[in-house]
Amino acid sequence: MQENLPLDVIIELKNCLIWQQDHLVLTNVDLSVGKGEFMYLVGKVGSGKTSLIKTLNAQIPLKSGTGIVAGFNLSNIRIREIPLLRRKLGIVFQDFQLLIDRSVHDNLEFVLKATGWKNKNEIDTRIGEVLEKVGLGLKGYKMPHQLSGGEQQRVVIGRALLNDPEIILADEPTGNLDPETSEGIVRLLIDISKTGRAVIIATHNYTILKKFQARTVKCEDGKLIEVRNDEEIELERL
């Protein structure tokens, strides 16, 4: 069942409990994210970052509280509606999850066909558009192992953009990358947010937090708290 939010809000959580299997990881979660907002989600390993992201994409059910994401109410979302929600979300993983036996183009084609695209010309056009957007316009023919780690992550971001999502959820997108490559990936995600998409990055990367300062929310002691400035993060050196 789709629900309405204020025009500039795309994610709204109120008084939510976030679980990981039978373990309660976050309580009384309140979070509002606007369209086009770029935000960091930080916290130690096991603090609830990934569980929160999995709740936003309905991978983990929301059992308590109110959660509306891209117009869908997580509290009463039906199983058949979950694919519709996920088409409005682009997910970026740390470990890429590319199909190693097919080219970049064919990786993206696989996703489009799986989400209902049928016209070959439209598929090829869309793949060309997203590869250009992530700076890989001439690399569609390459196999994943022929690309650098940074290029593979750009393919993953391109894959996340295929169905023109309203939200990008990036879980440790720079975790396996060197500092210079990491900066390029974050700049790309910032640029994507400027096109009106909300971008949430779960990260431990302190250097990125310092260099590209933005709204930061922290999972700590079972709570989700706003970090007012980078000094507060610096004290703990995530």
**Distance between first and last Cα of the chain:** 38
Q: If you write DSSP's letter for every residue of 26-51 in order, what string do you get? A: EEEEEEEEETT-EEEEE--TTSSHHH
Checking if the pLDDT of 3 tops 90, the result is: no
Q: Which of 24-28, 51-55, 71-75, 176-180 has the lowest mean pLDDT?
A: 176-180
Backbone dihedral angles phi then psi of residue 137, each to the nearest 5 degrees: -55, -25
Backbone dihedral angles phi then psi of residue 129, each to the nearest 5 degrees: -65, -45
Q: Which long-range contacts (CB under 8 A, 24 or more apart) does 82-87 make?
A: 82/58, 83/115, 85/57, 85/58, 86/57, 86/58, 87/115, 87/163, 87/165
Identify the residue with better confidence: 6 or 117.
Answer: 117
Angle separating helix axes 149-161 and 179-193, nearest 10 degrees: 20
Whole-angstrom distance, CA of residue 166 vs CA of residue 145: 30
Q: For the domain with range 37-57+88-236, which CATH number is right: 3.40.190.10, 3.40.50.970, 3.30.530.20, 3.40.50.300?
A: 3.40.50.300
Residue 82 DSSP symbol: H
Q: Which of 53-57, 108-112, 202-206, 231-235 has the lowest mean pLDDT?
A: 231-235
Instruction: Write out pLDDT tens, residues 138-188.
Output: 999 999 999 999 999 999 999 999 999 999 999 989 888 888 999 999 999
For position 7, what pLDDT does the model report?
61
Query: What is the average per-residue pLDDT within 192-200?
Result: 95
Checking if the pLDDT of 236 tops 80, the result is: no
| 134 within 8 A of 127, measured Cβ to Cβ | no
For position 115, what pLDDT does the model report?
84
Checking if the pLDDT of 44 tops 80, the result is: yes
Checking if the pLDDT of 227 tops 50, the result is: yes
Q: Is the pTM of this model over 0.85?
A: yes
Helix (H) or strand (E) holding 120: helix 120-133
**Domains of the chain: which residue ranges?**
37-57+88-236
For position 232, what pLDDT does the model report?
54
For position 235, what pLDDT does the model report?
43
